[in-house]
Amino acid sequence: MKRKSLFALSAVIVVAAAALVPVLWSGGDHLHNGSAMAATPADQAELVKKGEYLARAGDCIACHTVRGGKQFAGGLPMATPFGTMFTPNITPDDQYGIGKWTQDDFYRAMHTGRSKDGSLLYPGFPFTSYTKVTRADSDAIYAYLRSVTPVNVPSRPHELKFPFNQRNMLIGWRTLFFREGEYKPDPTKSVEWNRGAYLIEGLGHCGMCHTSINAMGGPVSSAAFAGGLIPLQNWYAPSLTSNKEAGLGDWETKDIADLLKTGVSNRGAVFGPMAEVVHNSLQYMSDSDINAMATYLKTIPQKSEAPESMQLETSEKFGGELLKQGQKIYADNCAKCHAENGLGMPPSFPPLANNQSIQMPSAVNPIRMVLNGGYPPSTNANPHPYGMPPFAQALSNQEVAAVVTYIRMSWGNHGTAVSPQQVADLRSAPLD
């Protein structure tokens, strides 16, 4: 879902390390070591409950828990062109986790991007977003993380190439791209709008995927929420500022809320990295917070033009041949679920006709879906989602290009033809 490359380590880690989410915080010794506290047990229990909710909003578990591993014990590898990063253990273990950190240490990491010893954190840990989190919410997340079961497992050191393993080099990056400061409500907006902005821009760190990255690995401020390629996951994060992509200006607020909360709506379904976000995080959020986020997203300024595409193009003649070939492939493999007219059977089988995600300038996501298949997230409101089978073993690169070309250019869709070379590139790319 994003087009730009991450040439600077900072950027690489940005995408990869939503994994470092509440990374490197450590706590006082309140819950784990049983130090005296002013709060009553009931107050403390309520604080921990609040912190658990906020940690869900930040999707901390997704990055700090290896599949099949202990919760928050870290160790998730993130391969980058500059080496591999590993997410840290953030359980309250005194030796290897956050057992020696105080509330102040934790807040400093969230607010300033500095670890307990003052060293600079790589921007894979989204402190550029977390700096907006209030001290009260930071303390609540800290209390929750201090309440989880300690895991006595060391955090694996990053394996980064020189000079990217020199943290002091981040000073220049921070000067250019980091502005410290908690979220300040806009007095001209409603309470609901401000709550949505706080969650989207802060804990949700949505801009990390939906904002373009420049050659230095920093966010392009003029392109906030304008979408781009997520290189390490090989998906495209569509623009939220263009109705030619995933712009939400002509969506109903309910459709936005449904998509965030359940992963499906009458306008479509989420797959890939966004499905993981809904599964691990958004489905657990309150209806009021989801509606606040939808309210804010609905007001993101829309632009008339979609972002510049880096789509591989084909000749008009070859595109016509692909379109004809794709029609037969679609009839044989796709029409049963998505219908001959492309209208599908929403929300179980999303429509392809007039589907913005199909006809975006980038064809990365439909190619990935045809090759690898996938499911919307399983959520409380949609516990048994219908999935898309993979066709990587059944269709050649040209056949995949043909059927994707067909769905991008049929039923009034205004997409362009797809190159078999792009299919080949994505076929060989990592799935995560």
pLDDT digits (tens, 9 = 90+) for 289-302: 999 999 999 888 77
Q: What share of the chain has pLDDT > 70, as a percent?
A: 81
Residue 260 has pLDDT above 90, yes or no: yes
| Angstrom distance (rounded) from CA 256 to CA 253 | 5
Burial (Cβ within 10 Å: 0-12, 13-18, ≥19) of residue 266 = middle
Residue 398 has pLDDT above 60, yes or no: yes
Residue ranges covered by each domain of the chain: 9-174, 191-298, 316-427
The pLDDT assigned to 272 comes to 80
Phi then psi for 229, rounded to 5 degrees?
Answer: -80, 140
Q: Which two tokens stand for residue 3?
A: 């087009």
The pLDDT assigned to 229 comes to 63
More confident residue, 397 or 384: 397
| Angstrom distance (rounded) from CA 247 to CA 301 | 9
Residue 129 has pLDDT above 70, yes or no: yes
- Computed over every residue of the chain, the mean pLDDT equals 83
Residue 222 binned pLDDT confidence (cut-offs 50, 70, 90): low
More confident residue, 350 or 249: 350
With beta carbons less than 8 A apart as the criterion, state whether 227 and 212 touch: yes
SS3 374: strand
Find residue 86's DSSP bridge partners. Answer: 77
The pLDDT assigned to 9 comes to 32
| 234 CA to centre of own chain | 12
Pinpoint the alpha helices (H) of 216-363.
Answer: 253-262, 272-280, 287-298, 316-333, 335-338, 356-359
The pLDDT assigned to 361 comes to 82
More confident residue, 221 or 17: 221
Q: Record the pTM.
A: 0.75
The pLDDT assigned to 282 comes to 94
The pLDDT assigned to 246 comes to 62
**Angle of CA points 423, 425, 428, to nearest 5°:** 105
Q: Which CATH number fits domain 316-427: 3.60.20.10, 3.80.10.10, 1.10.760.10, 1.10.3720.10?
A: 1.10.760.10
Residue 381 has pLDDT above 80, yes or no: yes
The pLDDT assigned to 362 comes to 85
What's 7-46 look like in SS3? CCHHHHHHHHHHHHCCCCCCCCCHHHHCCCCCCCHHHHHH
- Cβ atoms within 10 A of the Cβ of 286, count? 11
- Cβ atoms within 10 A of the Cβ of 188, count? 7
The pLDDT assigned to 221 comes to 60
Residue range 195-206: mean pLDDT, rounded: 94
Lowest mean pLDDT among 11-20, 150-159, 349-358: 11-20
